[in-house]
Structure 1
Amino acid sequence: MSHPVVSVTVPVYNTSKYLRTCLDSLRMQTLKDIEYILVDDGSTDDSGLICDEYARTDSRFRVIHQKNGGLASARQTGLQQALGEYIIVCDSDDWAEPHMYENLYLTARNHDADIVTCGYYSEYSDGRSLKKQVFFKEKDGVVDFFDFLHRGAGSSWVKLIRKSLYERTNSTYEIGINFSEDALIIYKLLKGRPKIVQIPAYLYHYRRLYGGASYTNSIRMSYVFQLQFTYNWLKKNYTAAEYRPVIRQKAIEIAVVCLHVIDLDELYLRKFMSSELKWTTIVRGRLSLKSIMVCFEKIFPLCVARTILKTVYPFVYRYR
């Protein structure tokens, strides 16, 4: 199969516990003209062997074994190897509905879309399965660009993207940026002003894992610096006044993330908020729980703000 219509790239690192569920869901896809690029990013468990097993029995699976380089490196390898007209990511601990990629591709083809997005299920270890979808503003069936820029960055696994959009915007993953890498690549792609379509369907299952050493469970300053890399890129490349609300929101998100950081550099946080989140900047925007938390960060000592977060904010953040 030399020219599949869809390439699904799967970064794999030490997910042997969940990997078969993921790969079985790919093997059962109703879209047949498809390829799966499994990038084993230096796994030290049985993940690499499982990938090889699926490749031996199904020619649609290709395996690339590489030295561990992080999530962005694995995604970039998959992107470089993809042959399909459209590309999408699937995380190796998640799984997809059998008709997911057929639905996305047919929608893309029928609307000549550059990006097609859908909804997903957040799957929790206690058995809850919650539907999640951002419904963007539309005009004549096409997603509003500014609404998508403001609310659509991230979650590459529910965005089917035309390969030529990567090429004409010269968009690549930033090696070493493994926290917010989804947002950064979407910001880059949006520089090409793509045609975006959404479908009201929940087609992906996102496994929410708590505990362990995942980024979202043990956030460190190194991850905050990666967030600021994306923030700085956004400020540099979206300079018009119309983009200021997006940039403001990203600054707020960095400040809120700092409340979770294990090894927080408080001097960094104070400097960041002083330069990027002045009172005039905060009050001009829409009031939200995150902006309220930033106000507490500016008014009270950090220990007080953390106490408020622990008693109020986790219930919103954990189950959103």
Structure 2
Amino acid sequence: MIVDDGSTDGTAAICDQYCERWPHLFRVIHQRNQGQGPARNAGITAAHGRYLGFVDADDWVEPTMYATLVATAERSHAQIVVCDVRKIYAATHRTTSLLSLPDATEHVAIAAYLKYGLNNAYSGNKLYARSCWQKYRYQRMVYEDLDILLDMLSCCERVAYVQQPFYNYYKHAGSTTLDYTNPRLFDIMTAYQDAIEHAKVTYQDAVTYCVAKRILINLATPGFADYLAEFIELIRQLRPTFEASPSIMSDPAIKKICDYAGQLTLPRRFICEREDWAQSWHQYSRNFKTIIPVAKALPADL
């Protein structure tokens, strides 16, 4: 199944050619551009197979990926089978491939994978039983994977892992998640809250630990520096949940996330009366959502 999400570069015609040449292998859905999540949803709804997998437009999989993952699923009766990811960074011409878990296994300890596993919130490095998607659909947002996949994993009875980098994730320079000026990145806050709120009770602690660890990684990422105030507000909201997590409270490194809740941040709005505010705003912009220039009087509702 190919979903053409409103492409404008000739992709639609290529999709049609594939379907005409190999009608027994390919079907195409043409739709107006709606984003990655809704495009996947269209494919999920139209699918009829026993298993589902996702490959994004810029990525590719190794030829034996799905045959290997399907065989593993059939043998282990796993609802989800995970493989490793090879990341290709276009801007720096760098390639990395890290193990998702220390050992290959057909019976993954789900709590450990949620807490410590790499790539646990990626869509592409997994094969899913179609039944996994009966109650799930992606939201139209950035970090749509993170929003539901930790929840989905927490509801599985069995997860298997093949220790091979079958999925090639191409991170091009214009990627949304690498553009830290994109206001859509605020979606990560919603994704974190949803992940904790929707997780199965059995794995609530593991998902909460995973979210806390991810937030700390975000805070250490230079590109997220301008979102510090928003992250601190999120930590304040989640602090009771973090403090109720045995895994977080027993890990000194992750427990430090609670310290951020006490940090002071500047107001979300900054009122500037200087006529040259446009030239000097960058001195004050960090941690502000809105900068409002004013002359002499302030509106009564501010």
| Match 1:271 to one of 216, 233, 236 | 233
Aligned match for 2:130, one of 163, 167, 184: 163
Which SS does the other structure have where 1:207 is aligned? strand
Deviation at 1:217, TM superposition (A): 2.3
8 A contact 1:87–1:162 mirrored in 2: yes
- The CA distance in 2 between the partners of 1:209 and 1:298, in whole Å, is 37
2:72 paired residue among 101, 107, 124:
107
The alignment-based identity, stated in percent, is 24
Q: Which amino acid aligns with 2:165?
A: Y
Q: C-alpha displacement at 1:161, in angstroms? A: 0.5
User: CA–CA distance in 1 between the matches of 2:237 and 2:161?
Assistant: 37
Residue 179 (structure 2) pairs with residue 217 (structure 1): yes
- The question of 1:184 aligning with 2:184 is answered no
Distance verdict in 2 for CA 1:117–1:255, change over 3 Å: closer
Whether 2:10 is the aligned partner of 1:43: answer no
Q: Evaluate the alpha carbon distance shift between residue 256 and residue 92 of structure 1 in structure 2; reply closer, same or farther with a 3 A threshold.
A: same
Q: Does 1:228 align with 2:189?
A: yes
Write the deviation string for residues 123-164 of structure 1: whole angstroms up to 9, x where unpaired: 2335443222211678x8400121223336311111100002
**Gap change, CA 1:158 and 1:235, over 3 Å in 2:** closer
Question: Which piece of structure 1 moves more, 53-62 or 92-101?
Answer: 53-62
Q: CA deviation at 1:101?
A: 0.9
**1:121 and 1:61, CA in 2 relative to 1: closer, same or farther beyond 3 A?**
same
Q: In the alignment, what sits opposite 1:238? A: 199
Distance 1:301 1:294, change over 3 A: farther
Distance 2:192 2:12 in 1: 34
Cα RMSD between the aligned structures?
3.4
- In 2, the alpha carbon distance for the partners of 1:46 and 1:292 equals 50
- Give the TM-score of the pair, scaled to structure 2: 0.72
Letter in 1 for 2:101: F
Shift of the 153–202 alpha-carbon distance from structure 1 to 2, 3 Å rule, reads: closer
In structure 2, C-alpha distance between the alignment counterparts of 1:145 and 1:213, rounded to whole Å: 30
- Write out aligned runs for 1:54-65 (5 A): 54-59=18-23, 60-65=25-30
Deviations 1:177-215 (A, max 9, x none): 2x22112332342353331111111212111222x3522
Output the CA distance in 2 between the equivalents of 1:131 and 1:184: 24
SS at match of 1:190: helix
Range 84-93 or range 229-238, more displaced: 229-238
Q: Which letter maps to 2:99?
A: Q
Aligned pair in 2 of structure 1 residues 124, 71: CA closer, same or farther (>3 Å)?
same
Letter in 2 for 1:222: R
What is the TM-score when the length of structure 1 is the normalising length? 0.68
Q: Could you give the per-residue CA deviations for residues 70-102 of structure 1, whole angstroms, max 9, x where no partner exists?
A: 111001001111111100001111111111111
Q: Which amino acid aligns with 1:203?
A: F
Letter aligned with residue 183 of structure 1: L
Who is 2:162 aligned against?
199
> SS at the partner of 1:157?
coil
**Amino acid corresponding to residue 38 of structure 1 in structure 2:** I
Number of residue-to-residue matches in the alignment: 258
The match for 1:253 is: 214
Which letter maps to 1:208? K
1:272 Cα offset (Å) = 2.4
In 2 relative to 1, CA 257–115 (structure 1 residues): closer, same or farther, beyond 3 Å? same
The 1-side partners of 2:14 and 2:233 are apart by 47
Supply the distance in 2 between the matched residues of 1:245 and 1:194 (Cα, whole angstroms).
15
Whole-angstrom distance in 2 between the partners of 1:153 and 1:121: 14
3-state DSSP of counterpart to 1:243: helix
Alignment map for 1:12-91 (pairs within 5 Å): 37-59=1-23, 60-91=25-56
**Structure 1: tracts of 5 or more residues without a match:** 1-36, 307-320
Cα shift readout 1:20-53 (whole Å, capped 9, x = no counterpart): xxxxxxxxxxxxxxxxx11111112222222222
Consecutive unaligned residues of structure 2, counting only runs of 5 or more, are 267-282, 287-302
Give CA-to-partner distance per residue, 1:261-294, whole Å, 9 cap, x none.
486483x44432333348x849725355x87798
Once the 2 structures are TM-superposed, how far is the Cα of residue 251 of structure 1 from its aligned partner?
4.2
Cα separation, 1, equivalents of 2:81 and 2:122? 12
**Contact preservation (8 Å) 1:221, 1:263:** no
